[in-house]
Amino acid sequence: MLSTAEALVTLLGAARAVEGSETLPTLDALNRVLAADVVSSLDVPPMNTSSMDGYAVRVADLAQGDRRLPVSQRIPAGHAPQPLAGGTAARIFTGATVPPGADAIVMQEQAEADGNDVSILHTPKAGEWITQQGADIRSGSVILPAGTRLTPQALGLAASVGSASLTVARRVKVAVFFTGDELTMPGEPLKPGAIYNSNRFTLRGLLENLGCDVTDYGIVPDRLDATRATLREASRAHDLILTCGGVSVGEEDHVKPAVEAEGHLSMWQIAMKPGKPLAFGAVRRAASTGAVADAAGSELNETYFIGLPGNPVSAFVTFLLFVRPFILRVAGVRTVSPRALSLRADFSQSKADRRNEFLRARINPAGGLELFPNQSSAVLTSTVWGDGLIDNPPNHAITAGETVRFIPFSELLG
């Protein structure tokens, strides 16, 4: 079995960014991946601005001891000022353009207005409370490089330099299906021995969160011929086929032999808990369907394949740790590793496992970690109760008070 680190290297090493892009209005580009750098065509701010409500002054005018100045103009934000006449002050507001000639802002709390005059109660330094032109962004600079996934704040940054549209990579096309004759959809009668298909809802939601173009083939019968037929169909116009269930070695587990008949597997088992059975490979794409090109321009006659285990927590965890970074890399994202925290364990776990464990835990009010009491791979409750996963190395027992590696769900679900 591969270690989790080796498995991730294998997956990311095989990932090739999709070809193709489109131009979208900036307002519609949330969570998409930039296909081209965003370069600023202007300084931000485009002029010197006041960072306080107050008075624009010349520092030299306050050096003579006379601190009572006539107010020569009033400058709200969005209005062009006149040059500041010597020996006067200008009433100015936050975000307004500093008038030519002024070299400092005095806060209104440090001044006393009296009719058309103002008494300055503070001796400012040159540049005080002035935000200089270009302090945030310089014209010609790359503010968002290609490969950036567009968060709300990234869209705001693009808009701040006047970008009304953005060039983004096309969506990753994912086909997904589920195997298991025991699976039933919510709303249908639950027959003896059957369970509701929670994985369909979890995985569809995770794929849609990543901005994928999803084709859902639903529940496929537990037969080799049905599984092979669905793989062939799904390979035609997708970048990735994602399955859930049927990747173990039981007599009713048909996904592995089906993929080996229709393509190949390069990875099958990972030394992790939960989620040991995780398959990675590719399914041949029929020549008549047309080929998808990779980032280097060469034709790909295969569709990536990832098979997840059927237990709900195993499917959830393996998706977050392996499928998510793989899809992001295929989408063109450069940085795909989640950030981890070092937090105190407020529990003990005396039994060490030979595999890399990913334990569902949450942060308590004291800033330490509590462990969900039942770490079974079938207990989906733990994924809602928890704030993230403790990445516990193989053969390591946890002692209360020690520092552990914690990956928040907030780093894994976006």
Q: Hey, CA dihedral for 185, 187, 189, 192, is it positive or negative?
A: positive
Q: Does residue 298 register a pLDDT over 50? A: no
pLDDT of residue 287: 60
Q: Does residue 11 register a pLDDT over 90? A: yes
Torsion of Cα atoms, 373 then 376 then 381 then 382, to 10°? 60
Q: List the structure tokens of 68.
A: 């009572």
Q: Does residue 315 register a pLDDT over 70? A: yes
Distance CA(273)–CA(57), nearest Å, equals: 67
Strand ranges across the sheet with 302-308: 213-220, 173-179, 240-244, 302-308, 277-284, 263-269
Residue 286 — very low, low, confident or very high, per pLDDT cuts 50/70/90? confident
Task: Return all residues near 96 (Cβ < 8 A) that are at least 6 apart.
Answer: 49, 50, 75, 76, 77, 78, 79, 81
pLDDT of residue 299: 45
Global confidence as pTM: 0.88
Judge contact between 375 and 349, C-beta under 8 A: no
CATH code at 49-131 = 2.170.190.11
- pLDDT tens per residue, range 62-87: 987 778 999 999 999 999 999 999 99
Distance CA(249)–CA(355), nearest Å, equals: 19
pLDDT of residue 133: 97
Greater pLDDT, 256 or 47 = 47
Give which of 169, 172, 194 is closest to 183, Cα–Cα. 194
Judge contact between 253 and 308, C-beta under 8 A: no
Q: List the structure tokens of 20.
A: 């193709």
Residue 26: strand, helix, or coil? helix
Q: List the structure tokens of 284.
A: 């041949």
- pLDDT tens per residue, range 191-205: 898 999 999 999 999
Residue 185: strand, helix, or coil? coil
Judge contact between 12 and 304, C-beta under 8 A: no
Distance CA(39)–CA(24), nearest Å, equals: 16
* Overall average pLDDT of the 283-299 stretch: 55
Judge contact between 72 and 90, C-beta under 8 A: yes
Indicate the helix (H) or strand (E) that contains 176: strand 173-179
Which CATH homologous superfamily contains domain 341-411? MoeA, C-terminal, domain IV (2.40.340.10)
* Overall average pLDDT of the 249-255 stretch: 66
Distance CA(253)–CA(353), nearest Å, equals: 26
Task: Return all residues near 49 (Cβ < 8 A) that are at least 6 apart.
Answer: 95, 96, 97, 98, 130, 131
pLDDT of residue 295: 39
Q: What are the residue ranges spanned by the domains of the chain?
A: 4-20+170-330, 22-42+140-169, 49-131, 341-411
Q: Does residue 291 register a pLDDT over 50? A: no
pLDDT of residue 309: 92
- pLDDT tens per residue, range 15-50: 999 999 999 999 999 999 999 999 999 999 999 999
Report, at the CATH architecture level, how domain 4-20+170-330 is classified.
3-Layer(aba) Sandwich (3.40)
What's the burial of 285, exposed, middle or buried (CB within 10 Å: 0-12/13-18/19+)? Answer: buried
Indicate the helix (H) or strand (E) that contains 154: helix 152-160
Residue 249 — very low, low, confident or very high, per pLDDT cuts 50/70/90? low
* Overall average pLDDT of the 230-254 stretch: 85
pLDDT of residue 252: 57
Give the orientation angle of helix 255-262 with respect to helix 224-235, to 10 degrees: 50
Residue 250 — very low, low, confident or very high, per pLDDT cuts 50/70/90? low
Residue 213 — very low, low, confident or very high, per pLDDT cuts 50/70/90? very high
Rounded mean pLDDT of the chain?
93
Q: Does residue 288 register a pLDDT over 70? A: no
Greater pLDDT, 327 or 297 = 327
Cα dist from 24 to 27, 33, 332, whole Å? 8, 11, 17
The verdict on whether omega for the bond into residue 274 sits within 30 degrees of 0, i.e. cis, is: yes
Q: List the structure tokens of 265.
A: 């597997």
Give which of 244, 229, 252 is closest to 305, Cα–Cα. 244
* Overall average pLDDT of the 155-169 stretch: 97
Residue 349 — very low, low, confident or very high, per pLDDT cuts 50/70/90? very high
Which CATH homologous superfamily contains domain 22-42+140-169? Molybdopterin biosynthesis moea protein, domain 2 (3.90.105.10)
Task: Return all residues near 229 (Cβ < 8 A) that are at least 6 apart.
Answer: none
